[in-house]
């Protein structure tokens, strides 16, 4: 059984709590929507952060909205080497025991004792997509991306929710390893 799925590259980004947003950007601050993302309700904001680790810093890191219950920074492994962090590969939101990182905004800075992760690659599926493909929520699948640098990604987490738009999310190390640019279709392999 094979099915195709849109593969989208996720650049490094942060999710922030309202409290950390106000520390970074000022009291009463609200994220401004720059562009809607493929997952309904999610958006790229106009706001940018600087992030710092023991070995280096990266400027102009995007913040994705809306605000969340925990602040986290999703980096590529390339980024973690620039920053000097030992960040684990995790699903978004699973920040317990992840790497410390400093966030710097125009109004202040936040020292996270944990929150820096490398996003575990995943596919978003609606229940009807999952049923058609024959996968269940949290199932580990593989996805092949063709081309002159064809790669099959294993250890891909399937996430199923009725509000999702079907898409696979990988970071730019993974995009580059597969020679992908822009949006392409991958083939789900069970």
Contact footprint for its own copies (CB under 8 A): 76-78, 89, 120-121, 142, 144, 147-155, 172-174, 176-179
| Mode of pairing for the β-strands spanning 109-119 and 89-90 | parallel
| 47 beta partners | none
Give the shortest CB-78-to-its own copies separation in angstroms. 6
**Residue 134 tokens, joined:** 């024959």
Which lies closer to its own copies via its Cβ, residue 100 or residue 179?
179
Which lies closer to its own copies via its Cβ, residue 17 or residue 142?
142
Give the shortest CB-15-to-its own copies separation in angstroms. 22
Which lies closer to its own copies via its Cβ, residue 136 or residue 140?
140
| DSSP secondary structure letters along 40-71 | TT-EEEEEEEEEE-SS-EEEEEEEEES--SS-
Give the shortest CB-52-to-its own copies separation in angstroms. 19
**Residue 163 tokens, joined:** 């509000």
Give the shortest CB-126-to-its own copies separation in angstroms. 26
Give the shortest CB-144-to-its own copies separation in angstroms. 8
SS (H, E, C) 81-139: HHHCCCCCEECCCCCCCCEEEEEECCCCEEEEEEEEEEECCEEEECHHHHHHHCCCCCC
Which lies closer to its own copies via its Cβ, residue 14 or residue 151?
151
Of all helices (H) and strands (E), which one includes residue 140?
strand 140-145
CA distance 117 to 99: 7
**Residue 177: which region, alpha, beta or left (left: phi > 0; alpha: psi -120 to 50)?**
alpha
Which lies closer to its own copies via its Cβ, residue 28 or residue 148?
148
Which lies closer to its own copies via its Cβ, residue 42 or residue 173?
173
CA distance 132 to 141: 14
Give the shortest CB-6-to-its own copies separation in angstroms. 19
């Amino acid at each position: 059984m094979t099915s195709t799925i849109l593969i989208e590259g996720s650049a490094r980004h942060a999710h922030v709590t309202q409290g950390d947003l106000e520390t970074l950007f000022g009291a009463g601050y609200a994220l401004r929507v720059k562009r809607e993302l493929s997952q309904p309700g999610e958006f790229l904001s106009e706001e940018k952060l600087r992030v710092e680790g023991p070995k280096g810093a990266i400027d102009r890191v995007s913040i994705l909205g809306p605000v969340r219950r925990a602040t986290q920074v999703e980096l590529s492994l390339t980024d973690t080497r620039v920053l000097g962090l030992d960040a684990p590969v995790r699903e978004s939101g699973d920040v317990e025991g992840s790497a410390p990182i400093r966030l710097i905004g125009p109004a202040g800075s936040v020292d996270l004792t944990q929150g820096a992760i490398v996003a575990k690659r995943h596919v978003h599926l609606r229940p009807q997509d999952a049923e058609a493909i024959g996968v269940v929520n949290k199932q580990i699948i593989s996805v092949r991306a063709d081309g002159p640098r064809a790669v099959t990604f294993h250890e891909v987490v399937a996430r199923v929710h009725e509000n999702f738009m079907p898409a696979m999310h990988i970071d730019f190390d993974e995009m580059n390893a597969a020679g992908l640019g822009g949006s392409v279709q991958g083939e789900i392999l069970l």
